[in-house]
Amino acid sequence: MSSRFTWDAPGLNKGQFIALTNLLSLRNGRQLQPPSEQASEFGNDFPQSNPRVKQRTDSSPEDDLKQRFLDRLAEVISKDKRVEYVACTTMKEYQDHVKVWVACNDGLDENDKAFLCSFSAKMSALAIIQQNSLWNLLLKHNTPRLGVYASWVSSKDHQLSLNTICDENMKKTLNDFLDTIEHRSSTNKFDRLCCLALQIRDIPSAQKMIQDYLKNGKCLWKSIIFLARFRRAYLTFCEIAQTIPRFCSLEFFPIPKIITPCKPPPLKLADTFHLLRQPLNTTTVHRFVARISIQDAQQRFDQRQKQSLHVHAELQIVQHLLQSHIHIEDIFQYMGCSKRNCFMCKTFLHIFCHVGTRGCHGKLYNQWSIPEISGIDDQMMQELEKTVKQILEILLQELSKPIPTCGAVPDSSAGTTTIHTPMGSDITPDWDRQILNALHTYFASQWRIDWSQRLAVSATLAQPYLSVITAKGEIYPV
Ligand SMILES: [Zn+2]
């Protein structure tokens, strides 16, 4: 029977959900605090694992390659660095071909669709012979993004200090890189820059040499790793086409832009504090928001409450799969993303379907929302309602914690990780654990943990599934 997920269901309240999201985003600068050591321990009374989801075993090298393929594909589809272009991918494999669903925060335009058609054709060509036409296509589509990376570097800043580097190979390659930066933007320029960046990236101690000895070395290094990652994406596509033949036959499903969800009348700050069972006064503002006046807090809160809602690319993919009656447990249990997920998307994916991703950057975007979704299976509608209720509880629980004081971490994974290790290595563990802790505290409050029975918890970063290991050695996926 076809059902519709709406915010009118018992126990759901969109206005409250939005207000709590805005309050949490306001008080912590949109980023959540890493967990304490104590908070990473779990109790022994967890809910049963989601019966719809196949339990994953250890991922194989082939699975790692597929995960890298999905992440690299999301990256090259995201042709510009702005948030509107954040992209996600997921896929279902058949014997002789692969279906790939693609979503972008601000929807895919005609150029993106043409790019996907060409990409599919070039991947087919890779089955016959490795050639440069796929590489040229990637360069052309991503010119805006590559231009941003190149703009972070000024050759003049670095040429003078190059002599401080003793490694001759490194010095020569860097010199070529900086010479090329000065050329006018073109496919040839970015081709050379990306290849040189990958060469530099693969030199041992390159990061230390650049950051320690060159003026503005951090900017230069950031540019190098992003450009190198782009070249690495091409090599990943070649690798998967050569090792798993069905990836030479890709069928793309670009997901159309979702209409901006409507908003209920916004709650005032005092009403939102009421949800936390707190009065609105200077003490509670200092405790739950920041050391600012009530008027200031009210003004900042109202500003957020007025903003329109967004459906992030991750949610767009889930919505599309549900409406197409494609069982999420039948797709490859990993979602490729051009960036790490925000706190809300990661929490949603973890609770709703356990699909793995590259990790979470910990930020909470106040305009995040789940749209009303019609034409879905009744069971999925119930699961969605349950998930939203659990996220609501998590928001309340996060708001009851002391205000964090830590600094921000970048959204992107490229600045914090190596670029060619198997997937999962580009996850910042603390932020991934943040999600797990939030879930843990929630489940602990729901299922009455016996704290005298402290149990170990395993959170595999490459496939963020929780397992509770009891003192008897029994393993329960959560
Ligand atoms: Zn998100």
324 versus 42: which is more confidently predicted? 324
- How many angstroms separate the alpha carbon of residue 21 from the centre of ligand 1? 13
The pLDDT value given to residue 212: 81
Burial call 127-145: b when 16+ CB within 10 Å, e when fewer: eeeeeeebbebbbebbbeb
pLDDT surpasses 50 at 41: no
The pLDDT value given to residue 2: 85
pLDDT surpasses 60 at 448: no
- How many angstroms separate the alpha carbon of residue 34 from the centre of ligand 1? 18
pLDDT surpasses 60 at 56: no
pTM of the model: 0.78
Closest CA to 288 of 23, 22, 15, 21: 23
Task: Give the residue carrying structure tokens 């450009």.
Answer: 227
Give the model confidence (pLDDT) of 194-252 as tens digits.
999 999 999 888 888 888 877 778 889 999 999 999 999 999 999 999 999 999 999 99
CA angle 229, 256, 136 (to 5 degrees): 35
The pLDDT value given to residue 442: 52
- How many angstroms separate the alpha carbon of residue 408 from the centre of ligand 1? 17
Give the model confidence (pLDDT) of 351-409 as tens digits.
999 899 998 888 888 889 999 999 999 999 999 999 999 999 989 988 887 675 554 44
Give the model confidence (pLDDT) of 269-323 as tens digits.
999 999 999 999 999 998 888 888 999 999 999 999 999 999 999 999 999 999 9
- How many angstroms separate the alpha carbon of residue 345 from the centre of ligand 1? 4
What is the C-alpha to C-alpha distance for residues 430 and 340, in angstroms, rounded to an integer?
Answer: 13
Tell me the average pLDDT across 41-52.
30
Residue 269: count other Cβ atoms within 10 Å of its Cβ.
22
- How many angstroms separate the alpha carbon of residue 74 from the centre of ligand 1? 14
84 versus 459: which is more confidently predicted? 84
Averaged confidence pLDDT in the chain: 79
Burial class (CB in 10 A: 0-12, 13-18, 19+), 8: exposed
Residue 468 confidence class, pLDDT cut points 50, 70, 90: very low
- How many angstroms separate the alpha carbon of residue 360 from the centre of ligand 1? 9
pLDDT surpasses 50 at 60: yes
The pLDDT value given to residue 71: 96
Alpha-carbon distance values, 366 to 20, 23, 170, 255, 343 (Å): 9, 8, 44, 23, 11
Tell me the average pLDDT across 97-104.
97
CA angle 135, 138, 139 (to 5 degrees): 85
- How many angstroms separate the alpha carbon of residue 103 from the centre of ligand 1? 12
Tell me the average pLDDT across 177-195.
91
To 10 degrees, the CA torsion angle through 180, 183, 188, 189? Answer: 50
- How many angstroms separate the alpha carbon of residue 442 from the centre of ligand 1? 20
Residue 345: count other Cβ atoms within 10 Å of its Cβ.
22
- How many angstroms separate the alpha carbon of residue 341 from the centre of ligand 1? 5
Instruction: Give the list of residues 6+ apart from residue 388 with CB closer than 8 angstroms, or none.
Output: 12, 17, 370
Closest CA to 252 of 144, 126, 104, 131: 104
